Structure 1
Amino acid sequence: MNHPFYQKKQKEQKKIQLIVCCYAFLLFIIALIIAWQSNIYFIAFFVFYLLLTIIAPFIDVPNNKKSGKLIYYSNFFIVEKEKNGVLQIHGGTLLDYYFVLNFKWNSKQRTNYIIQQYLEGLVNLIEEYEKNNVRQIRFTGTTYILNKNTAKKLGFTITKTNSLQLMLLVLNYFNVLISNSIAKGNFSFPNVTKSISFEAKLDDLVKKKASIKALSNKLKHRG
């Protein structure tokens, strides 16, 4: 994995995290002043929540990666540590969108790269568990990026999105909004209400591995 953030030394990573926190603190102080002068105290609470959701990926994700709670299988494909035979799949976070994507790329190039990294990460995940012969494992996730047909073609079964999963997406909407806007190259509102949940057993994904790998290679060579 050639992730620009994780290729930096620990000292540099900590410095970036400190800078992010300092900027967030400064913006919160400004919000407090505005709230106090206008007597609209909701402004301070709203900005605090907004900043918290935005800076969280820059702090939590690297720390959880270091502790082993999160595992990167590609720059935009992250998996939670196995729990009770279930692996929770996640797409890239705001940290990944900011550090990995080339801002000189156009919208199509960025989108192609993100999808290619999803596919490459999925192949890496399949091959690791296939190699270790761990068959009794289930993969689950929720996404607003893939549609139902694409998910099915990859070997997943569509499941009902529960209220908790949808609530987490809504609570992190501003984080998702910024990530989506970076991917599109302009201000772009994602429709999280159209998110889908999916699951699959290893054998289901193994059957689709060749086609997933072929599509990943096709997108990689497209550039």
Structure 2
Amino acid sequence: MNCLNSPIEKHKFYIKSNKEQTLEILKFSGLALLIFLGFVLIGLFLEWYFLPLLALPLILSVLAPFIDTPQGKKQGKLIYYTPLFITEKIKNEKIIIHGGTLFDYYYVLDRNWKERQRIRFILRQYILGLLKLSESFHAKNAEYISLEGTSYILNERTAEKLGFHKKRTNFLQQFILTYNYLQILLANSIAKGKLSFPDLARVNTYTAPLSAIKQNKIFLKQLADKLKD
């Protein structure tokens, strides 16, 4: 299922031709390579030979969403319900949800928007995505499906209003978050329109039965309308 149909809410990457998309990916890959070579030269000049090895995982963590996200969509592993709400394919009656990646923020958010506009837009996309996801499943099937996602945009109070409950983030999730800190830092800064260091201690994992989202759809629609500019 692909819900990128609204002319206002189109994803600037996916409206490009396949050739243009490939060129965009090559552009970011080339930029990542140049940055890595820069660290190699600095390491050689300063005789800090370990520097490129330290820089490489950071560079790859930032580059990854620009390759993995469009490839995941192309292969059907990732499903967009709105430009900033993505899910993985259902597995063992669980759907992992994502509120957009660094890649999505880069192509979707208007650089002229102020912080408040960006956050409201992100939240609205998240809510609309939840609604579209819930509408894609029959009520009987929704009873057996759970949603789970980790977010640094949603706070616990807002998540509860949407129908979610906080769940303890496990060690693996914490490790992945720590490894991807630079990527999260850049995404958070784009989301707020300024340099903004995320506090990983405040990054939470939330879960909800899909049936609860369906039952909450009237409130979600009202909230989405309030967030509309």
Fold-level similarity (TM above 0.5): yes
Shift of 1:32: 0.5
Corresponding residue for 1:184? 192
Tell me which residue corresponds to 2:173.
165
Distance, in Å, in 1 between the alignment partners of 2:61 and 2:133 is 28
Residue-by-residue CA offset, 1:52-88 (whole Å, 9 max, x unaligned): 0111111010001011101111111110111111100
Structure 1 unaligned segments of length 5 or more: list them: none
Distance 1:132 1:64 in 2: 29
Q: Secondary structure at the match of 1:78?
A: strand
* Residue 194 of structure 2 is aligned to residue 194 of structure 1: no
Report the alpha carbon displacement of residue 42 of structure 1 after superposing the two structures with TM.
Answer: 2.8
Instruction: State the Cα deviation string for residues 130-189 of structure 1 (Å, max 9, x = none).
Output: 378443111111112111121111111221111111111111110110111111111110
* C-alpha distance in structure 1 between counterparts of 2:128 and 2:176, whole Å: 26
Q: Do structure 1's residue 59 and structure 2's residue 64 form an aligned pair?
A: no
Structure 2 length as normaliser, TM-score? 0.92
Equivalent residue, structure 2, for 1:93: 101
Give the partner amino acid of 1:126.
Answer: S
Show structure 1 runs of 4+ deviating over 6 A: none
What are the superposed Cα offsets for residues 24-64 of structure 1, whole Å, 9 maximum, x if unpaired? 11111111011112121232112211110111111010001
Confirm whether residue 78 of structure 1 aligns to residue 86 of structure 2.
yes
The answer on whether the counterparts of 2:142 and 2:209 sit within 8 Å (CA) in structure 1 is no
Contact 2:139–2:211 (Cα < 8 Å) also in 1: no
Q: In structure 2, what is the Cα distance between the partners aligned to 1:124 and 1:112?
A: 18
Q: Cα gap change, 1:70/1:132 in structure 2, threshold over 3 Å: closer, same or farther?
A: farther
TM-score when normalising by structure 1: 0.95
Q: In the alignment, is the contact (CA less than 8 A) between 1:166 and 1:193 conserved in 2?
A: no
Of 127-136 and 56-65, deviating more is: 127-136
Q: Is this contact kept in 2: 1:72–1:78, CA < 8 A?
A: yes
Higher mean alpha-carbon deviation, 54-63 vs 44-53, is at: 44-53
d(CA) in 2 for partners of 1:206, 1:45: 48
Where 1:63 maps in the other structure, the secondary structure is: helix
Shift in CA distance, 5/106, structure 1 to aligned 2, threshold 3 Å: same
Identity level (%): 43
* Paired position in structure 2 for 1:30: 38
The equivalent of 2:26 in structure 1 is 18
- 2:151 corresponds, among 143, 147, 170, to 143
1:106-145 paired onto structure 2 within 5 Å: 106-130=114-138, 133-145=141-153
1:150, 1:126 → 2: CA distance?
18
Paired letter, 1:147: N
CA distance in 2, matches of 1:155, 1:213: 13
- Give how far 1:115 is off: 0.8
